[in-house]
């Protein structure tokens, strides 16, 4: 979700966003639309656009439920790795796509909101779906956790109809922005590790996010990475090759 704000300064506009949306500063990204500079004696308000990647308090009662009896594996996160680039495009399975879109809209309805899910693109075995809703910030959830849960269930459901397809679920371009942030954080952490010689753990990530980090840092001199932990959400440790932790 995006919202525009303005103030006498950038910080003033950010403070207005925090107050209006009832969220913390680290829960959103800021894009400067107008820096307010007009000349020596004339100055306009600073205008910003807030990109919200987190959840408001009301989302605590709107989390998708993942049944314990459903077998969920790493593959249910619909791996979007480079190996898909050379895959031959499969013929569209319109029946599957219609059923999965309807399934997702039913999930969102059970969360208490309305949505319209459509196919945004197809490539190789991947079917990219876009959820359009006025409650997109809640559907995405804090750090994309709700969107991930919806994607997991969508892949479990789709797998019972067609085992060939991988379902990617997005809303308001969240995944592209989130991936860019993950890679940026990974590089920044790698530079700190290389400078200090001390390893650092990144926050817990799903399999696809961890793969992004491993791939991004693979060619960084003096750095190596490994996943630690149990379950789907593991942490990536960034390690200096000159000094072990």
Digit-by-digit pLDDT tens for the chain (245 residues) are 778 888 888 888 888 888 777 676 666 777 778 777 665 555 678 888 877 754 444 444 444 444 444 444 455 455 544 445 556 788 889 999 999 999 999 999 999 999 999 999 999 999 999 999 999 988 998 878 899 899 999 999 999 999 889 999 999 999 888 899 999 999 999 999 999 888 999 988 888 889 999 999 998 999 999 999 888 888 999 999 874 44
Q: Are residues 81 and 139 in the same domain?
A: yes
Q: Are residues 40 and 110 in the same domain?
A: no
Q: Are residues 162 and 196 in the same domain?
A: no
Structural domain includes residue 77: yes
**pTM confidence score:** 0.59
Structural domain includes residue 44: yes
Structural domain includes residue 245: no
Please, what sign has the CA dihedral across residues 54, 60, 63, 65? positive
Q: Are residues 64 and 166 in the same domain?
A: yes
Tell me how many domains the chain contains. Answer: 3
Q: Could you list the residue range(s) of the whole structural domain that residue 227 is in? A: 175-240
Residue 170: φ, ψ to 5°:
-140, 165
Q: Are residues 189 and 236 in the same domain?
A: yes
Q: Are residues 99 and 128 in the same domain?
A: yes
Structural domain includes residue 85: yes
Domain end point (choices 130, 156, 172) = 172
Structural domain includes residue 214: yes
Q: Are residues 160 and 189 in the same domain?
A: no
Q: Are residues 152 and 201 in the same domain?
A: no
Q: Are residues 165 and 180 in the same domain?
A: no
Domain end point (choices 146, 172, 198) = 172
Q: Are residues 105 and 164 in the same domain?
A: yes
Q: What is the CATH number of the domain that holds 210?
A: 3.30.1370.50
Q: Are residues 18 and 103 in the same domain?
A: no
Q: Are residues 198 and 165 in the same domain?
A: no
């Amino acid at each position: 979700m995006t919202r525009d704000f303005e103030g006498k300064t950038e910080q003033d506009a950010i403070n207005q966003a925090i107050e209006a949306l009832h969220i913390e500063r680290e829960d959103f990204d800021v894009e400067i639309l107008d820096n307010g500079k007009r000349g020596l004696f004339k100055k306009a308000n600073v205008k910003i656009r807030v990109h919200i990647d987190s959840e408001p308090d009301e989302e605590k009662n709107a989390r998708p439920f993942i049944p314990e009896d459903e077998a969920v594996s790493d593959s249910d996160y619909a791996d979007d790795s480079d190996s898909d680039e050379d895959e031959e495009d499969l013929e569209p399975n319109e029946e599957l796509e219609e059923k999965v879109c309807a399934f997702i809209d039913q999930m969102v309805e059970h969360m208490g909101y309305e949505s319209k899910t459509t196919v945004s693109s197809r490539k190789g075995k991947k079917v990219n779906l876009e959820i359009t809703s006025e409650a997109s910030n809640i559907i995405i959830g804090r750090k994309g956790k709700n969107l991930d849960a919806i994607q997991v269930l969508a892949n479990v459901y789709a797998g019972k109809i067609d085992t060939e397809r991988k379902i990617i679920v997005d809303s308001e371009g969240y995944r592209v922005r989130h991936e860019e942030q993950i890679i940026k954080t990974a590089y920044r952490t790698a530079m700190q590790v290389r400078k200090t010689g001390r390893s650092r753990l990144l926050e817990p990530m799903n399999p696809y996010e961890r793969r992004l980090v491993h791939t991004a840092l693979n060619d960084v001199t003096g750095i190596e990475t490994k996943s630690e932990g149990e379950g789907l959400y593991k942490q990536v440790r960034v390690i200096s090759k000159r000094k072990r932790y």
